[in-house]
Amino acid sequence: MVTAAITGLGSALPSAVDQQALWDAFFCRHFAASRAARRIFTGSGVRRRHTVVNPLSEDLTGWSTAARMRRYAQEAHPLGHRAAAAALAAADVAADEVGLLTVASCTGYGTPGLDIGLAASLGLRPDVQRLLVGHMGCYAALPALGSAADFVVARRRTAVLVCLELTSLHLQPPTADPQQVVAHALFGDAAAALVLRPRSGNTPFTGPPRLELVDVAAFTDFGSGDHMTWTITDLGFRMELSPQVPDVLAEHVRPGVKSLLARNGLDLPDVRAWAVHPGGPRILDVVQDRLDLPESALAASRTVLADHGNCSSATLLLVLQELTGGGALREGGPVVAMAFGPGLTLYTALLHAIPEPRAGGAPPAR
């Protein structure tokens, strides 16, 4: 049986800016020193973010969407290239081995697009296939991962996935709307990438823990489509985030995860690690509560939220990178990844962590 295995992860981040400095030097004035806005920034769970456009030195609020897209074209390519190159190096994969390049982004567009530019700069073959996953938002990494894995299994060739979001390009004009305050308190910029390779049977891997993709599932609550929106306006893309989002997630997360696990012969206690998209602190609290998880289960997600903010589609790959780098997957076992976004949509994935080889022998059998 052939499976698709994640054999390399990489990321690239623009310059960091302190969350408190953002509030003190820009957003305090931007939101008219609102005490409610201050509370939202303080309670965001974010310590710092990375941005290609730092509002402390460059205010984009009056920029047209066209100007913002020109800046996206300028900033996105070098960031995406660094992330993809890092993932290829971690996987020890040469550029000419790649059969598919998938790019997920909802913060910028243009043609020829980021996928074509990356294929050229990375030195991929001219016959490489490309897939662009656009405007799906925070959960885009999982359907993109599922599609790339299908290619790997069907064609027995390597695929690269790049998730890149530059949310700082979409700073909106001053407003009293609390939904805008939440969005501007949470989101940051990042590029993250992974390499998927075909794996047959118990073929061993060396190095850090590897992850096989086992299954992917989706659930969309069609009655709550207006709770989270990402609308193209004349002044960039504008996000609306209803305070009811955590309540909708609370209704669906447990049955959704249990269904994914049950069809693979597993239940919640079998899961060794959790890679949860940190949409915000309330989202993580809801997941932890509804799944009866210990605080430690979401430590990687809370760390990513604190260090990077919510980076939309790139965030989940950052959480996987945090998990693998921190040794949480060293012993192997089932891993559940999940992310949520417009729809409202909950995407889940079941992965299997391949244990690290033990001294003097192959990794233990699954």
CATH code, 275: 3.40.47.10
Say what the pLDDT of residue 328 is. Answer: 82
User: Is residue 138 among the annotated active site residues?
Assistant: yes
Judge whether 290 lies within some domain: yes
- The C-alpha atoms of residue 75 and residue 242 are separated, in whole angstroms, by 30
> Is residue 366 in some structural domain?
no
First and final C-alpha spacing in the chain:
14
Are 151 and 291 in the same domain?
A: no
- Looking at residue 366, its pLDDT comes to 45
Are the CB atoms for 80 and 114 separated by under 8 Å? Answer: yes
pLDDT band at 365 (very low <50, low <70, confident <90, very high): very low
For residue 112, cis peptide bond before it (omega within 30 degrees of 0): yes
Single residue among 169, 200, 231 that ends a domain in this structure:
200
Q: Which two tokens stand for residue 147?
A: 């599609």
**Which residues span the domain enclosing 104?**
2-200
Q: What average pLDDT does this structure show over 122-140? A: 97
244 inside domain = yes
- 156 lies in the same domain as 42: yes
Same domain, 236 and 120: no
**Residue 102 and residue 29 share a domain:** yes
Query: Are both 191 and 215 inside the same structural domain?
Result: no
User: What pLDDT, on the 0 to 100 scale, is given for residue 82?
Assistant: 98
pLDDT of residue 342 exceeding 60: yes
| 326 — pLDDT class (breaks 50, 70, 90) | confident
Count of domains observed in the chain? 2
Same domain as 286, residue 144? no
Same-domain pairing of 248 and 182: no
- Whether residue 247 sits in one domain with residue 214: yes
pLDDT over threshold 80, residue 240? yes
**CA dist 11 to 181, 190, 194, 258, Å?**
27, 7, 9, 31
Residue 359 lies in a domain: no
Same domain, 89 and 196: yes
Residue 60 inside a domain? The answer is: yes
Q: 344: cis peptide before it, omega within 30°?
A: yes
Percent of the chain with pLDDT over 90: 88
- Domain boundary, last residue among 150, 165, 200: 200
Q: Is 363 within the bounds of a domain?
A: no
Q: Are residues 174 and 274 in the same domain?
A: no
Would the pLDDT of 67 be above 90? yes
What's residue 203's pLDDT? 67
Question: Is 223 within a domain?
Answer: yes
In tens, the pLDDT along 142-200 reads: 999 999 999 999 999 999 999 999 999 999 999 989 999 999 999 999 999 999 999 98
Domain boundary among 200, 227, 243: 200
pTM, rounded to two decimals: 0.95
Residues 6+ apart with CB under 8 A from 34: 176, 181
- Residue 133 pLDDT exceeds 60: yes
Both 218 and 136 in one domain: the answer is no
Our separate counts of H helices and E strands in the chain read 11, 13
Which pLDDT score, from 0 to 100, does residue 218 have?
97
Answer yes or no: is 156 within a domain. yes
93/237 same-domain check: no
| Given 106, 138, 163, 311, the catalytic residue | 138
